[in-house]
Amino acid sequence: MKKLSFVAIIALAVSLSASAQEVPNRTRGDYKAKHRSGAAMYGKDLNLTEDQKAKFKSLSEAQRNELAALQKQENISVKESREKRAAIMEGYKTKRDAVLTTEQKAMVAKKQVERKEGARKRGEQAGAKLEKELNLTPEQKTKLQESRKVNGDKAKAIRENQSLTADQKKAQMQKIREEQKASMKSILTPEQYSKMESQKGQFRKGDHKRGKGPRGEKAKKTPTTV
């Protein structure tokens, strides 16, 4: 059987919690923080020219304005909002790509691969450490993996179900979160569950991004996806 990823289990629990709270908030004002598109996101290694920086700044401002206008639209469904938002993001991605040279694009692609590989290795290290701390039995490992798959599939189905309203999705995600919590409590001992919750708390606070969580090292700033 494939080795269980405890980081994935914790991440699922946190994701369910976040989804239960955030599904209906189409206008929660996080577009600017989540979708930065200025020159800073590409990093210094690309050696952007002043002209490129100016173009990125202009594109960033235009993108923020379009997303802000989208947030203000009242008579629009969640599905329509998502589709329009995706179209806006894709359109500006294409425009930003056009600003970069072939060499710069290759550098960005390389950094993306390196970042994913680094995250995978840190996840494996964190998972191995937590597995050792919890001292799980083979039976517990199997049950946790089965529980993660079942609840993960349920959450995915809810997110992709376009017939549900935002409130219905929120309620159903909350139900899955409660089921996941109950499942973990039934599989783990009280001590194991306490350790698991502690680790999950670090993920929720974002300590793993600041080098205080399971990754065990201070994260370095890297370019965001182009």
41 confidence band (pLDDT: 50, 70, 90): low
The CA distances from residue 51 to 55, 94, 96, 221, in Å, are: 6, 18, 13, 23
pLDDT of residue 208: 46
79 confidence band (pLDDT: 50, 70, 90): confident
Model pLDDT for residues 139-167, shown as the tens digit of each residue: 988 898 898 889 889 999 998 888 888 88
Residues 6+ apart with CB under 8 A from 173: 16, 19, 20, 23, 155, 158
Task: Say which range, 53-67, 91-105, 114-128, has the weakest mean pLDDT.
Answer: 114-128
Helix (H, G, I), strand (E, B) or coil at 113: helix
**How far is Cα 79 from Cα 85, in angstroms, rounded to an integer?**
10
pLDDT of residue 25: 45
Is the predicted pLDDT of residue 199 greater than 70, yes or no?
yes
pLDDT of residue 90: 92
